[in-house]
Amino acid sequence: GAGVSQSPSNKVTEKGKDVELRCDPISGHTALYWYRQSLGQGLEFLIYFQGNSAPDKSGLPSDRFSAERTGGSVSTLTIQRTQQEDSAVYLCASSLQVQSYGYTFGSGTRLTVV
Amino acid sequence: AQSVSQHNHHVILSEAASLELGCNYSYGGTVNLFWYVQYPGQHLQLLLKYFSGDPLVKGIKGFEAEFIKSKFSFNLRKPSVQWSDTAEYFCAVNLNRDDKIIFGKGTRLHILP
């Protein structure tokens, strides 16, 4: 597609429930990233996929968080047993080559855990 | 620890004032530097970037930034701000040997009409 597409744009869930967030990157972009944006905390790196390589999961805050990227394209971020501190905007970005182009971001999914 | 520091969390200016937002990073190797902007209700957009060459880079909407290697800084400037510049600005760094970008915590800029 023309841009990075994320769905849903907003999600309200009850504490303890699982949620899945979806990201559809720009066609042809081999790298895909998930970040979390909280008020006053900037952008926190979560996980990164590059082609067929094993993902860099170094930013995942707990084992309740996981992500997959199927067929080198669409990615889903799953949060199990959600907690109130998981409330944030989850951003997806894709890139052809970070060193030359930086990232293109999606509009994000605003997650609210009640 | 490696980090990106933005000195101002919240800046309020009047229209036509000059702007300088500070950014320092702590990486010692070759870096690529970025400023991203997030206008109210919109997604993050690339404002400008530095990879190599002239350390003074120009971006969209009249913004520019200067890379000073000796000071590990990449400050963002604009000589005369407009109300439409109200947004949150993020400084970011990529280590040339890495594929991730590390972001600062952002500066909220509010321009008074």
**Calpha distance B79→B74 (Å, rounded):** 16
Residue A33, CA atoms < 13 Å, CB-side half-sphere: 24
| Facing residue for A99 by CB, picked from B94, B104, B105 | B94
Mean pLDDT of B24-41: 92
Percent of chain A with pLDDT over 70: 99
Average pLDDT, chain B: 93
CA distance B40 to B23: 22
Q: Check CB contact of B95 with chain A, cutoff 8 Å.
A: no
Whether residue B94 and residue A33 make contact (CB cut-off 8 A), yes or no, is no
Measure in Å the smallest separation between the Cα of B88 and chain A Cα atoms.
10
pLDDT score of B64: 97
Nearest CA in chain B to A90: B43
Please name every residue paired with B37 in a beta bridge, in sequence order, or none if there are none: B45, B89
What would the pLDDT profile of A56-97 be if each residue is shown by its tens digit? 999 999 999 999 998 879 999 999 999 999 999 999 999 998
Q: Is A26 on the interface with B (CB under 8 A)?
A: no
> Cβ contacts (< 8 Å) between A100 and chain B: which residues?
51
pLDDT at B18 over 90: yes
